[in-house]
Amino acid sequence: MTPILSARALRFQYEDGTKALDGIDFDLFPGETVALLGPNGSGKTTFALHLNGLLHGEGQVTVCGMVLDKKTLTAVRAKIGVVFQDSDEQLFMPTVLEDVAFGPRNHGLTPEQAIERARVCLQQVGMGELAVKAPYHLSAGQKKRVAIAGVLAMAPEILVLDEPTTYLDPPGQRELLHLLRELPQAKILVTHDIHFASALANRAVFFQKGRIVEEGTVQQLVEKFAWECGD
């Protein structure tokens, strides 16, 4: 099977000299969910930010057959939807509906088309009834669903989720898990939440000092790196 996303020999060093990535090779295949595990500062988030060009170092990223560069950046970003750890970083319009419609509207859809797509995506995440609400009136779990709806409105083929259970209570985590299981996109899950990763991911890789040092199931990596996973 051909990877839907691949990274080869990724290297990145911050301006202060910190070597964040030290030769990363990685493949993501259609329909799978891969958890990125490892201690703080191991390179997980830096790696994720390379996948849609938010950071750029040495090496090559290929997404849906396109090598990521300046010419393909817009097309690649349309294929990868990033859900940030803090939903407030993604929600800024006066109403939920306007927020979800913002991306499609700015990618050429008419206002009517953008609103219709936003309504469909809000229904998909179970937030259709709150379309006219202001985002700041929502709970953390509701904000997360709206943020995901905004990403889905761009029709991505890959979802990258950065610590998605942050700020969520147990019921909110269960609802998010159920939603993500229903979504067909390939997913990359950056997380310290071992239980959530175990329930969602069918494969995991372990980051250590800017390298992927092991891969397997979540449980296999937890058993091998228990103290570093914080379990």
Please determine, looking at this structure, whether the domain spanning 5-87+157-229 carries the CATH number 3.40.50.300.
yes
- CA dist 10 and 7 (Å) reads 7
- In this structure, what DSSP letter does residue 68 have? -
Domain ranges of the chain: 5-87+157-229
Q: Please, what's the b/e burial string for 65-86 (b: 16 or more CB within 10 A of its CB; e: otherwise)?
A: eeebeeebeeebbbbbbbbbbe
Cα 43 vs. chain centroid, distance in angstroms?
A: 15
- Cα angle vertex 193, ends 11, 209, to 5°? 25
User: pTM of the prediction?
Assistant: 0.91
β partners of residue 142 = none
* Span 63-120, pLDDT tens digits: 999 999 999 999 999 999 999 988 988 898 999 999 999 999 988 899 999 999 999 9
> Mean of the pLDDT values across residues 120-139?
94
* Span 4-59, pLDDT tens digits: 999 999 999 998 888 999 999 999 999 999 999 999 889 999 999 999 899 999 99
- CA dist 189 and 59 (Å) reads 22
Residue 89 is predicted with a pLDDT of: 86
